[in-house]
Amino acid sequence: MFGEAFVKRVDAEFYLKNGDSGDADIGEGTIQSPTALLSGYSHSLSKLHILLQQTSQSTHQGRPETVKVHTYSSILERVCALVHLECGCEVRNKLPPVAALELRSVDLQSPRNNKEHHTQEMGLKRLIVRRGQSFVLQLHFNRSFHFGKDYLTFVAETGPAPMELLGTRATFSLTQARKGNVWSASDFTTDTNSLLVSFFTPASAVIGPYTLKIEISQGQGHSVAHPVGTFILLFNPWNAEDEVYLPSEILLQEYIMMDYGFVYKGHERFITAWPWNYGQFEEDIIDICFEILDKSLYFLENPSKDYSQRNDPVYVCRVVSAMINSNDDSGVLQGNWGEDYSRGVSPLEWNGSVAILRQWSARGKQPVKFGQCWVFAAVMCTVMRCLGVPTRVVSNFRSAHNMDGNLTIDTYFDQNAEMLPIQKRDKIWNFHVWNECWMIRKDLPPGYNGWQVLDPTPQQTSNGLFCCGPASVKAVREGEVHLPYDTPFVYAEVNADEVIWLFRNGQAQEILVHNTSSIGKEISTKMVGSDQRQNITGSYKYPEGSPEERSVFMKASRKMLSPRRASSPFLDLLGSRGSQDQPAQLQLHLAKTPEWGHDLMLKLHARRVPDRVHPRGPIRLVVRFSAQALLHQGDTREPLWRQTVHLDLDFGEEIQWPLLLPYENYRNKLTDEKLIRVSGIAKVEDTGRSLLVLKDISLEPPHLSIEVPKRAEVGKALRVHITLINTLTVALSNCMMVLEGSGLIDGQIYNNIGTLVAGHTIQIQLDLYPIKTGPRQLQVLISSNEIKEIKGYKDIFVAASRAS
């Protein structure tokens, strides 16, 4: 009889698995009444439900009991039908009803997931993951989950009005295996009343904060929704399917994970490494980054459309480039290239991005005062690294600001060697700083992936907003200036020609210099894995004077210039490599290292060379010198020093003439940048022709030294020794010290150290308590009324606490 065999088999299986055969039995050969048979069936059916649950779990955990699941299931259906025939009643109605599945709690597994997604530095309290990579959640229910009986559907949403059509809403059901690069929940395992589920987001998903909910149903019944939690989704440069994929762990550690670095400032011959705290992993910075996106004009105009485009790194980079400056919107920084910073903070007094971003967020998204190019670029680097786009800061020395696109920058001097403050938009900045972001450019022809220039400094508009880029570095090098975005402007920054004119009687009368190689010098970024500077000029242009450089220049000129200017004579002028035939060569050299607060010693080196007018004879020169304070944007102040020298040069003769620029001449007359331009115009008495000689000088501030013990541990006092010697001949008044360093200090430490007398030394000791392990950098800035930028840094490796 099938019924007796069924009961015995179920009892035996149950005993093997659980050690208890139960108290229901049907004696062999005994004729049972329908009531007794029904009772035996009911007990066995209950056991069968348990066996089904146990074998289902074993199957999902990888044990080969799939056959038993199907066997028990088929037996269950047959027995229910048999009992209905033999007993005349429905056994299902006698069994205890299965409770509806309810979600009781969720474990987002943040520590595990964040570590696997390289976001653990942002904290472990909330879930922060990268797109195109799986993460796991553990769901706890009121009872065991039955796959095939219980149906789970997940909904992930981001943005103000999520829609699947816009890619801001995704609906997906629990499956046994993931299929393709789509939103999915799969590869689950069960344990008692919990379910461990692997979630996957496509590598093209919209980045941003998401909410996740679950809809639970049994069969075709009504579904009940439960909130699961929230998570933040970022770009994933570790994933080959992501458009920001960077196939080098060493580069990823530098351009994503490194939270400090250097910005290079000064002059091409006096390059200064300026330490900067990017701080992209400070816990609130990621929220501020998305606040920046949510304050853009694109978002305010059409929030849903803006969110739908946040899967595209090209789009996101352009938005951030516009939002770092405040020219069009509620951007982060207000620029100031003047000399009055009384209503804010001098750009020279910032140590890092964290304080700037926090101030912007805390003060109602009002622009922070003030920034200049290196501050704009450093803050953008923080935002882009936080969002998951490999980013670095790049400095271009003698950077052209060519607004009319004619590839020439005109500068004017009078006969007294004074650089004239003629109002013009085209200038040569001493240096300019921008960003490079790494990405695939699907919007360009093949061959232009990789580093892309983005410039948040408000120089000119692009599609109506003050932003710049992304412009492919490869396109700049090859002169493909027709490719978006803003490639002609970037090309001119590193390739324009410089034409210096002698200005007399109200007009430019004589070309003193036509220099084809003075723009775009020493293009620099931090070297990977080192504190050293890397010269990357070769990635922007071919070697100056090479056939390739000439060919690319001519190609770019024809594309950028109007038909009249693109004529052959004009291009010949632009591409000219020749120099005027002059009877002498003049150079200015520094006799010793220029220090602020000391007299400056220079030497004029003059050498007589043959020319067409005076092939061999002697010449007489009258050289008029002028010194002016040089501003960052290339402008100058009124002359602070003048001197005239008379030279007689025989053929082949070389002489060196000493020049003294006293400290009292430039004291209180320089800008915060402490730059001086010394100019000389020599007039040949016999012919009236003029020669120009230039020297830009960057004055070195006093040296700051920082000493720490060799071993640093998390949570353990780290004694820091800071020493400053005032090598100046004047006192430094109102000295303020600011310390900053992600992982070392929470925020900033301020210390008012008063006045430092000339020639005296100040020593400061204080204890820090490191917060995070790994390589860290302590940045120290001491500013005073006299000098705004006495900076130093110390690299520190922090070990885990021995007690832990």
The C-alpha atoms of residue 741 and residue 534 are separated, in whole angstroms, by 23
Judge whether 455 counts as a catalytic residue.
Answer: yes
What are the residue ranges of helices labelled H in 341-420?
354-362, 373-387
* Cα–Cα nearest to 589, from 266, 273, 268, 269: 269
Of 432, 514, 614, 632, the active-site residue reads: 432
Q: Which phi and psi (to 5°) does residue 551 adopt?
A: -65, -45
Judge whether 599 counts as a catalytic residue.
Answer: no
Q: How many CB atoms lie within 10 A of CB 478?
A: 20
Question: In the numeric block, which tokens belong to residue 557?
Answer: 């000129």
For strands 194-200 and 135-141, give the pairing.
antiparallel
Asked whether the beta carbons of 540 and 476 are under 8 A apart, the reply is yes
Distances (CA, A) of 164 to 134, 215, 226, 229, 293: 21, 17, 20, 19, 21
Question: In the numeric block, which tokens belong to residue 153?
Answer: 């559907």
Q: According to the 3-state scheme, what is the secondary structure of 716-781? A: CCEEEEEEEECCCCCCEEEEEEEEECCCCCCCEEEEEEEEECCCCEEEEEEEECCCCCEEEEEEEE
Question: In the numeric block, which tokens belong to residue 177?
Answer: 């295996």
One-letter amino acid for residue 561 of the chain: L
The C-alpha atoms of residue 309 and residue 8 are separated, in whole angstroms, by 64
Of 373, 437, 467, 468, the active-site residue reads: 373
What are the residue ranges of helices labelled H in 19-89?
34-60, 66-87
For strands 712-713 and 790-799, give the pairing.
parallel
Q: How far separated are the first and last CA of the chain, in Å rounded?
A: 67
Strand-pair partners of 644:
624
Spell out the residues 6+ positions from residue 277 whose beta carbon is closer than 8 angstroms to its own: 259, 260, 351, 352, 353, 354, 740, 741, 742, 777, 779
Of 455, 486, 497, 696, the active-site residue reads: 455
Angle 797-802-804 from CA coordinates, rounded to 5°: 110
Distances (CA, A) of 133 to 116, 182, 443: 9, 11, 25
Q: Which phi and psi (to 5°) does residue 232 adopt?
A: -115, 135
Judge whether 432 counts as a catalytic residue.
Answer: yes
Instruction: Write out the H or E segment, with its range, that includes residue 318.
Output: helix 313-324
Q: Dihedral, CA atoms, 43, 49, 50, 52, nearest 10 degrees?
A: 140
**How many CA atoms within 13 Å lie on the side-chain side of 528?**
13
Residues annotated as catalytic are: 373, 432, 455
